[in-house]
Structure 1
Amino acid sequence: MLHAARALWLALAGRSARLGAGLHQTWRRSLQVRVVTITLVTSSMLVGGFAYLIADKITSILVENAQTDVLARLRSGSEYAAKQFSLYAQPQEAQLQDTIDGTVNYLAGGDPQQTSGVVVAITADRFTGVITPRTSPDVQVRPLISPELRASVAGGSVAHQIRTGTLGGERTKYLVYGSPVPTQFGQLELYYLVPLARQDATAADARATVVATGVALVLLLGLLAALVTRLVVTPVRVAARTAQRLSAGLLDQRMVVNGEDDLALLAASFNQMATNLQRQILRLEEMSRLQRRFTSDVSHELRTPLTTVRMAADLIFAERDEFDPAVARSAELLQAELDRFEELLTDLLEISRFDAGFAMLDSEPTDLVPVVHRVADRLAGLAERVGVTIELDVPTTPVIAEVDPRRVERVLRNLVGNAVEHGEAKPVLITLGMDASAVAITVRDHGVGLRPGEEKLVFNRFWRADPSRARQTGGTGLGLSISLEDARLHGGWLEAWGAPGQGAQFRLTLPARSGDRLTTSPLRLVPSDAALPFGGPRTGGLLAIGPGAAGGLAIGPAGDGDRAEVQS
């Protein structure tokens, strides 16, 4: 039984929580609901206050009228009774009791059985046992005359109270007035008990009328607020839906323009804006398409003359020993520039494939340890020429991940090449790490580093940190852009950290299984040897770049090696 009650309580609590969450969500999302609710609450408070004041005023007027009428009757009755009793000098006189009875009947209307509800009573608290109290009609009024009222009247004052009691079998509210009646032998007390049933009924009818009118007014105000808000909110909702369709690529969506008011002006302005945006977007798309086509066509068209020039240059380069030194040096320069030109064409073709969406991922289980060693060996000659030592921190056991080895090697080649170029003759450290869900590779240099803001530009095409510097590697300026696209194609992250004078570190994080979503990286992005000036936070910029939740690019500041993204 206890278990069933607990289950019922939990079910009710869960349902209440869901209902509360639904109402809170509706309140936050619906402007019309908020306006109507505020209107209803405010108008209810105002109308309720006015209704209370009006009903209270009506009740007060009715009671005051009843008091004025009873007081007039009480004074007249008191004077009449005083005249009737002035003939008696002693309370024991035989005719006094009959006179009291006749006076009570007369003041009550002459009919002891009258049905108006008014009760007239004459009492003599000072002559108990001598004078018998009389009432007309004959009912017991003592419970309705409080001791305080009796004491006040006995003291010679005219007093009144409102009491509720039962006279004649029905519980009724009475207005009780008492007045002293002076005589030669002392004082008697005259009481009028007037029922307030009619006044209560009138006040109740007035309150009901006021409440009904107030409720109708509140509902009318709520309906009016809903209609007015709907007139304003509906075009805004239409504009929001139209804007969502426009953002989804449906550039032909427009709002309906009705009338000439402000809302119609809003719709017309929105349509004009959408038309201008559509025109500009189509123009930019056409320019982008022509640009991509131009890049692709030029890259392909240059292949044929490049092949011919390459054949001639190879022949000249092979025979350079037979030429004089100046011509031999020219042959070497020609060969180097042709290599750079061919690399540029290759990168342009790769970029055009990414732009067109034709890049494909050929994933397979790959041991990344040999890949890292192979990249380090290929760049060892360049590192030796510029005085940079390449250091490796890789596990002794295989690090297996489902990746495209060609693309991963290209990313590492670009990262290590940049680190060697900007290493300022200081060691470059390559670190490989993994956990249950991801693998990561960091490339750390100790060169000039990145100034604040440059970490946002480092992956842009053809961007260079210092255009005046002489390049050692003869790069195309597209390496990091291609590396970023390769990381995105894997569903991974390519991130950069840098600080002036402290060098830079790039981190490539890839899912261990193709198609998995990354949540953390096995390696820290901010190196452990980064300086903390004055005990404050690490200096330098930090940029996290990778695929967002919706397939877009995620760029944002990251913390102390942890992942932090801003989805776009």
Structure 2
Amino acid sequence: MAVDSRSVTALGARVLEAALDVWRRVARRAVIVAGPLHHTWRRSLHFRVVAITLVTSSLLVGAFAYLVATQSTNILLDRTRNAAVKQLQVDTDHAAEQLRGFNQAFDPQVQSSLGTIASYLSRGGPEQGGAIVALTSSRNPNLRAQAFDVSPLITPELAHTVAVDHRVADQIRTYDFGSGPTKYLVTGSPVPTGFGPIELYYIVPLTTEDQTAGQIRTMVLLTGAALVILLGVLSALVTRLVVRPVRVAARTAQRLSAGLLDQRMAVHGEDDLALLAASFNQMATNLQRQIVRLEEMSRLQRRFTSDVSHELRTPLTTVRMAADLIFAERDEFDPAVARAAELLQAELDRFEGLLTDLLEISRFDAGFAMLDAEPTDLVPVVRRVVDRLDGVSARAGVPVELTVPETPVIAEVDPRRVERILRNLVGNAVEHSEGRTVSVALGADDAAVAVTVRDHGIGLRPGEEKLVFNRFWRADPSRARQTGGTGLGLSISLEDARLHGGWLEAWGAPGQGAQFRLTLPVRAGDRLTSSPLRLVPPDVVPGHAVDARPASLEVTA
């Protein structure tokens, strides 16, 4: 009958698909079962120690049980084999003595003598727990005396060894004589006679030996299982004694980190764990003392800053009024006095900005800063910041490139704080751009909005991208200020970004400039997961640092 190859292919594809489906189900069940175990394995030291102890002890006890059971079985078998060989030798001598007077195999008395000998040597047969004795002749099949048909127990290999090689041999076979399958030890030996050699087979049931070996295996397995369980319980108890103080220390440390500085561990005894608890408590006491002292110092510092800032407002207002009057009449003074009036006005502006920033920082430190969020289009906010700093960038000779979407970018933000952040970022970029272009870009997606400010100045060394947000920190203290900053702008900007639930990040490389990225959630209160703009500019060459020294600078050895 012809078979369609397409049918065979379709059948094979269905079988393969069914096998893959079964495999996927098994894999899913394995993941469901192994998932919690893997989680527990990673999180519980107690579970790992007990599991390793159980696995290791199970392997060791299993190997020992196998060795004991095997050796016991071999010892029983060797003992039975030795007894069978000795009995076979006695029976062989008896059979040879009884058959010594016969010289012809066809003598009618030979067969009857063989039967008598076999019956005598069987000693009751298997019904009474005795052995089975069979007398056979490979040369004359008619000569055979056996109470049972034992031909299934005598293999050709065994018969050849006994009849042809004239050696004593044995083997173990399983056969059912009506009372169920039973193992037998079959031992054969040649019997010399006047009419030619015959074979005597001595067949011993191994029922007793099997029962004894089974009892030994059962006892070893039960003992091994009890030993493994005992080791598991002991390892669990010992591990708990060690792990429990560690867990208590971990929970106490968590409470300490949460601000509960009065938490301590209980000390019991004088062992190593008690020493650990005492040392931990001493450390907690020292930390509490230091934290309280630092909090008090911080509180006094914040109060001092706030009080000084407020107290300086009154004299500053008086000085400002006088300075404004002098500045308005500077054209009637000598050039030197007029220049001094201009410097006084500029420094008063800077001083007033510093006081404003200090007051803002004190509000952040005291936790009084509030966010006044409202839906705001950020495109005009970014444009307004760039336009207001146009005069500063023009005086510094720094062009500012602005890239914003053509459509509105709406986000729930505090426009005053966002504008302050961008004013600080763009002002710093103009100050550090070394006359090169500053790029400002606005981007948005469904969850976040971002603004990047990129300059091509001296850049930041590794590690300085975190330091730039510290108060009064400068990348190069030797550089002269161009815009008269207070040193608090980026710190305030970082706090404003955090108040929005956003990010303010910095990137920089020596000779490749720096870029700051402000990322804010579109909806107030949402959690940020990504930013629509890259922090590292796409034009950056990895591992390449540009020499940022002025061309006129000469270096001599």
- Asked if Structure 1 and Structure 2 have the same fold, meaning a TM-score greater than 0.5 normalized by the shorter chain, the answer is yes
Structure 1 residue 144 corresponds to structure 2 residue 157: no
Q: Distance in 2 between matches of 1:7 and 1:114?
A: 57
Structure 2, unmatched stretches of 5+, are: 1-19, 547-557
1:399–1:434 Cα contact (<8 Å) kept: yes
Match of 1:309 in 2: 319
Q: Given residue 135 of structure 2, which amino acid in structure 1 is its aligned partner?
A: I
Does 2:132 align with 1:123?
Answer: no
Cα shift at 1:7: 11
2:54 aligns to what? 40
Give the secondary structure class of the aligned counterpart of 1:192.
Answer: strand
CA shift in 2, pair 1:39/1:500, >3 Å: closer
Asked if residue 58 in structure 1 is aligned to residue 72 in structure 2, the reply is: yes
Tell me the CA shift for residue 348 of structure 1: 0.2
1: CA distance, partners of 2:389 / 2:127 = 125
- In structure 2, what is the Cα distance between the partners aligned to 1:44 and 1:73? 43
After superposition, residues 252-401 of structure 1 pair within 5 angstroms as: 252-401=262-411
1:108 to 1:253, Cα distance in 2 relative to 1, 3 A: same
Q: Counterparts of 1:503-542 in structure 2 under 5 Å?
A: 503-530=513-540, 532=541, 536-537=542-543
Query: For the residues of structure 2 that align with 1:478 and 1:166, how far apart are their CA atoms?
Result: 100
Q: Which runs of 5+ in 1 are unaligned?
A: 1-5, 541-568
Contact 2:118 2:134 in 1 (8 A): yes
| 1:243 aligns with one of 233, 248, 253 | 253
How big is the alpha-carbon RMSD for the aligned residues of Structure 1 and Structure 2? 2.7
TM-score normalised to structure 2 length: 0.87
The Cα shift of 1:456 comes to 2.3
d(CA) in 1 for partners of 2:134, 2:408:
115
Give 1:100's aligned amino acid: L
2: CA distance, partners of 1:123 / 1:513: 103
Q: 1:120–1:190: 8 Å Cα contact kept in structure 2?
A: yes
Deviations 1:247-286 (A, max 9, x none): 1111111111111111111111111111111111111111
SS of 2:372's partner is coil
Tell me, in whole angstroms, the C-alpha distance in 2 between the residues paired with 1:168 and 1:521. Answer: 85
Contact 1:144 1:165 (C-alpha < 8 Å) held by counterparts: yes
CA deviation after TM superposition for structure 1 residue 345, in Å? 0.7
Instruction: For 1:450 and 1:189, locate their aligned partners in 2 and report how far apart those are by CA, in whole Å.
Output: 102
What is the Cα deviation at residue 230 of structure 1? 1.2
| Counterpart among 457, 468, 483 of residue 458 in structure 1 | 468
Could you tell which deviates more after superposition, 419-428 or 18-27?
Answer: 419-428
How many equivalent residue pairs?
Answer: 527
1:32 Cα shift? 1.8
Change (3 A) 1:352 1:76: same
If the length of structure 1 is used for normalisation, what is the TM-score?
Answer: 0.86
Contact 1:430 1:443 in 2 (8 A): yes
Residue 80 of structure 2 is aligned to residue 70 of structure 1: no
2:145 aligned residue (134, 142, 161): 134
Answer with 458-467 or 320-329: which moved more: 320-329
Paired residue secondary structure (1:126): coil
Classify 1:344/1:68 alpha carbon distance in 2 versus 1 (closer, same or farther; 3 Å): same
CA distance in 2, matches of 1:483, 1:453: 19
3-state secondary structure, aligned to 1:217: helix
Q: Which amino acid aligns with 1:474?
A: G
Partner of residue 101 from structure 1, selected from 115, 120, 123: 115
2:215 matched to 1:205? yes
Q: Which moved more, 1:185-194 or 1:323-332?
A: 323-332
The one-letter code of the counterpart of 1:216 is A
In structure 2, the residue corresponding to 1:491 is in which secondary structure? coil
Show the 5 A alignment for 1:79-228. Answer: 79-109=93-123, 115-129=128-142, 131=143, 133-135=144-146, 138-155=147-164, 156-228=166-238
SS state at 2:139 partner: helix
Query: Is residue 141–residue 167 contact of structure 1 (8 Å, CA) maintained in 2?
Result: no
**1:25 counterpart residue number:** 39
Instruction: Single out whichever of 286-295 and 49-58 deviates more from structure 2.
Output: 49-58
Q: Percent identity?
A: 69
Code of the residue aligned with 1:203 in structure 2: it is A
More moved, 332-341 vs 475-484: 332-341
Contact 2:131 2:204 in 1 (8 A): yes
- Residue 179 of structure 1 aligns to which amino acid in structure 2? S
- Compared with structure 1, are the counterparts of its residues 244 and 328 closer, same or farther at alpha carbon in structure 2 (3 Å cutoff)? same
Deviation at 1:120, TM superposition (A): 2.0
Residues 200, 407 of structure 1: CA spacing in aligned structure 2 closer, same or farther, 3 A cutoff? same
Residues 511, 179 of structure 1: alpha-carbon distance in 2 compared, 3 angstrom cutoff: closer
Task: Give the distance between the partners of 1:116 and 1:329, measured in 2 at CA.
Answer: 132
